[in-house]
């Protein structure tokens, strides 16, 4: 089973831990970076080479930040979580944008396993 390399960016620590624990029950996952500040973010992510980036959006911030990250990490999937965790967007270099209407453990696992 392939190990999914995940970087967690500007997300509350508890949410990152919950995501890890839930996903680790279903797949091999490794948190390779926990980034609290966005300074030099693209450079830091390039060095980490994640398969997935989970990024917490600021209040009133759109998921457009994911497009900038895709330029630095064209092979990764960028998963952007709204500040209230009510909306989640997935960006990948197809170009493609998917909103997960059913944000559940199963939906996130399907995403990480490659299903659309």
CA pair distance 22, 38, nearest whole angstrom: 26
CA pair distance 63, 80, nearest whole angstrom: 6
pLDDT of residue 96: 63
Q: What phi, psi does 72 have (nearest 5°)? A: -80, -30
- Could you report the per-residue pLDDT of 57-106, keeping only the tens digit for each? 999 999 999 999 999 999 999 999 999 989 999 999 875 677 777 788 88
pLDDT of residue 114: 72
Indicate the pTM of the whole model.
Answer: 0.81
Domain residues for 57?
4-112
How many other CB atoms are found less than 10 A from the CB of residue 106?
Answer: 10
Confidence of residue 115 (pLDDT cuts 50, 70, 90): low
| CATH code for position 106 | 3.40.50.2300
- Domain tally, the chain: 1
Residue 32 pLDDT > 90:
yes
């Amino acid at each position: 089973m392939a190990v999914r390399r995940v970087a967690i960016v500007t997300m509350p620590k508890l949410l990152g831990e919950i995501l890890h624990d839930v996903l680790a029950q279903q797949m091999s996952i490794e948190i390779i970076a926990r980034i609290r500040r966005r300074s030099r973010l693209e450079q830091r992510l390039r060095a980490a080479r994640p398969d997935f980036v989970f990024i917490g959006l600021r209040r009133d911030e759109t998921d457009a930040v994911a497009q900038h990250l895709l330029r630095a990490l064209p092979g990764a999937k960028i998963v952007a979580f709204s500040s209230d965790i009510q909306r989640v967007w997935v960006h990948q270099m197809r170009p493609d944008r998917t909103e997960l209407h059913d944000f559940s453990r199963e939906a996130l696992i399907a995403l990480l396993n490659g299903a659309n």
